[in-house]
Each structure stands twice: as structure tokens, then as C-alpha cells.
Structure 1
């Protein structure tokens, strides 16, 4: 039987694939596509302003964790495709979220489908991998599994805010070398509807002390009781020294921020040997901001 399967011609495989085709389904390269009106049972991910997000430095996006079949999963979306199909397609993958769950079972057999929502026709394109060779020598093997679909109501929305803006905040820090506190923060400032602060450690935030200037951008948002949020930010941290001649240092950041992990920057932004006791001008320029909201009905 195994030998016969391997010797099957492409024409035979094509004939077998055609057996799955109904007026509402198609098969291409072993991938079955059908349409239905019922929403996905376990999780949904909505991406707003896709064209804006696709030109950022974000290569892929992993959804929040959702549970199905006693395991925890994530959807992984490559915004510009992966490997040979880059810049031609959107690539989608299912990934197990907690690898330690595999320790007891070693492997998991998964029957899964991807859905793409047709917003014009209000229906879902269902994409499913179809393995060839179900019917060989007019014989096949059947099994039965009953899967009761119960909608969890969990979903998330990824929105890219206008990435054409380049809002900046400038903070003048006088006599920074005389600051005795471990760190100091700027006043709160608003960019694209979010509240931020700059945090500076004049002698560094970790050992060895008194060698580096540490600078961080802090997201100053309160925890929302309605929806959990996180943000993908691309920004530049810039320091200008008022010496003669003046000097400028800058570093670029692309990072995820949330209420729980609300700080991102550089512990070794620059060496203190390159500074003097003049006023520092610290600038933060946010060039792109995307927002993710998680919902549960």
C-alpha cells in the first residue's frame, strides 16, 4: 500500500483532490478552501490599517494565547510573507504557546483551519490543509470525531496609527552631573493620544555605576478594566550636549510596550566620559505607533 501511494502520479492525485470539491469548495496545491457564515470558534485577530503596518519594522505578529483542545496556542502572521513568498502573500501559522505542555505527550495531532473574513460578503474563507492519498485502490479508512463548536468570544484588534507623524518631545536637563537621585523623570507629555515620560539615570541604572548614561521611554498609561492593551512603537532617543563644539548621540528603538512592561531604552546609551557638566538636551521622536486591544465578550 505504501509503495502504491508513493508511485501515484500527479494526475491521480488531482483526481483524488477533485473528490473533495463541492460548489462551495476548491482545492489548490493540497489546500482546501471553502466559505461559511459562522465565525471561528476559538479566536479572532483583526488587523486595522494593514498597509501602514506592513511598512514598519514589524516582520511578524503573534496573537495573544488562546486555549483549544487542552493546549495553549498562538496565531502567527507574517505581514509580508515568509521565505520565498516575501512581499507576495500574507503567511499564517499555528504555534503552540507553551512548549512545556509537550513534555508529557511529546507530540500533538492537530486538525485546524484558518479563517479570513470577507467584509463585503459577511462570510469567512476557510483554509485547510488536505493530505492526498485518502482513497487508494478504491479503499479508505474512516474514523469519527465529534467537535462541538462553542464560540469563546475572545478576539484582539491590531491598529496602526498614522505612521506619517513624527511627534517629538524635548527635555532640557540642567547640571545633570549634580543630580543626587538615582534617576529623574521628565514631566508627562502626550504623543498620538498616549501619555509618556522620559527617564534618565545620570550614573547608569546597573553595574558598573558611574560609567554610562541610561535613558528610557516610559509609557504612562493606566490599566484599562475593559480591554488589555499593548503598543508597538518605533522611536528615536537623541542626546545633544551643549559643549563647544556641540555633539549629538542617537539610537533607534522598535519595541513592544504595555502597562506591565512600560519601559524600554538603553542602559548604556553613551559613556559619561563623552559628557561634561553642561545642560543636556534629550529628545524623543516617535515615528510609528501601533495599538493592540484584547476583548472578551
Structure 2
């Protein structure tokens, strides 16, 4: 097996009544067990067993201690993963596992457990982990191999910051005579989502007829799912028809299942709008310039 030296970190020792869950090795005559190990490199290797989709040799016991690992005078115990298990996957995998050794104490009728709290990494270069100094002679040994399962639930949050055309604009003609409560241009696409702009020329119920109201909705087909969030950073503008002195509000909001619309009930006073932002044809132009929109990829939902 070669050297199986391990740098021991914090060792936790406990007593418990419940036997090991992964594998148990009982020896009826420990003296004969010691003698028999002399013909097998001073060790005993158990049969293969399964844990976490992998095959293991549990236990590898040195009844007289592993001299190569400074274990003389003690019982040394190790766990070895079957290297063939690692080659089932492409590329060869790594396995992270917690290892807890058991030694049965007949007098106490309990199991003495020894565990290195550091999770061990098994791979093609390191297939064996264990403890070189366990205890003097006993006759029942066991082990729990708790394999860390593969990553199942995850999410990846990304942000789109560059667009071929980051702006959406609309024009409300004959603004001063506009009779409808709300102006809604066709939905538009940005960053893989459909959006709806809603402009209230005389303001919504909170504006009391004195301010322009503007809101940005996610289209029904792209409403966030449960626990999903979509971040939007943008600039909302009422354009200056005579130059570049546009009226602007910066926008940074998270859209969720509960909040699919954000905006301003009091975006711009109608008095100021009438004074500076209507062109000669009584047209108001509104623009959104998107800066950032987030996207999230999820693993399968529970």
C-alpha cells in the first residue's frame, strides 16, 4: 500500500452506543489475528463495500501498528478507496469524505470513535487516509465513510453590461390634448427579457394631476419565478427637444415575483414639462437607457 502518512489536524474522540453505519469488522481471536497479519505485510484488508457511489476497502488494520507511519505499539487503521471507482467518471473524479473510526469496548458496551475533523480528499494520487495510532488491542473495529454528495443546488448570477442598442424611446404626440389615463407603447426586448413602459401623462392616482408618472414593468411572459430576482440599472429621461438638457432619474431596482413594476409616481412636474420638454408639435419624448440587467441560472428546483 505504500506510505499512508497523514498530517493529523484536530482529532475528536467520543463514545457512542450506535454501531458504525458503513462497515464493521469483528475479530474473535485477536492474538491469532496478530499472527496472521505477519504473512500479509502486517495488515488486514477488509472486503470492498459501497458508500456514496464508490467502492472502499474498510478496514485496513495494522494490529501491531504501521511501522512506516510511526504506529509501532498501537493499532493503525486506514480507509482506502478503490481506484477503479475513481476511473468510472471522465475525467477521473475526486471524492471528499469524512472518516470516523470505531473501536468496540466490551466492558463499556460502547463504541469509542476517533475522527479527524478535516474532510479528506481521495483521488488517484491519494487513495488512503487513516490514523497511525489508535489504541492498544481490541477485537471489533468499524468505520463510517460519509461521502460529500456532488453539488446539486446552485445558482449563477451574471450581469449584462453591454448592448448593441441599450436605449428604448417613445413619443407621445399631442401631449397636451392626450385624453387617456396611460400611454403604453408596444413591449420591447432588452437583455433577453420583455419589458413594458407605462407613462401617465397626467400622473397616476398619487400625482394629483400635477406630475408625470413613469413605470417600467416586466412583461407577463417574463415575470420572475418564486425566489427569482432580476436587477436593473438604467437611466430614465424626458428628452429636451432643443438640446441635451434632458431631465433624468437614475434607476436601480430588483424585480421579484412580488414586485414586477418599478418607477416614479412623481417623475416630473407638469408645469416644468409644459415649459421645457414639449417640442413645437406638442410631442413628448421619453427614453430609457439600460446600463445593467442581471440574469440567474439555477439548478433544478426542489
TM class, shorter-chain normalised?
A: 0.3 to 0.5
TM-score, with structure 2 as normaliser: 0.45
Higher Cα Rg: structure 1 or 2? 2
TM-score, with structure 1 as normaliser: 0.45
